[in-house]
Amino acid sequence: MTMQCATRQSDDVTILDLAGRLSLGEAVAFGPGSGVVLSETVRELVKKGQKNILLNLAGVTYVDSSGVGQLTGALASANRSGRLKRSWFS
């Protein structure tokens, strides 16, 4: 299952609820990769001026090295103009 991302708001924090496999390799087997979803979503939020982004990884079932790279890229994008919060628990 490729990565799915639902966005919700809580006060001034945008929460990205991620579910599925965080891996660019999914593109080869199942179509567009999960990293594209995460990267593009964070990039768009940052462009819109969102400074507080929380990644809820409770629904993530698998992360490979390319998935870690996508998380790192999301962190770098968010840190350029704000903060990225991480949640390991729901």
Q: Residue 84's pLDDT band (boundaries 50, 70, 90)?
A: low
pLDDT at 5 over 50: yes
pLDDT digits over 19-70, tens only? 888 887 655 555 454 556 787 888 888 888 888 888 899 999 888 888 888 8
Q: Can you give the residue ranges of every domain in the chain?
A: 4-87
- Report the CATH superfamily, name and number, of domain 4-87: STAS domain (3.30.750.24)
pLDDT digits over 56-82, tens only? 999 998 888 888 888 888 888 777 765
pLDDT at 90 over 50: no
Give the DSSP H or E segment for 45.
helix 34-47
Query: What sign for the dihedral angle of Cα 44, 83, 68, 2?
Result: negative
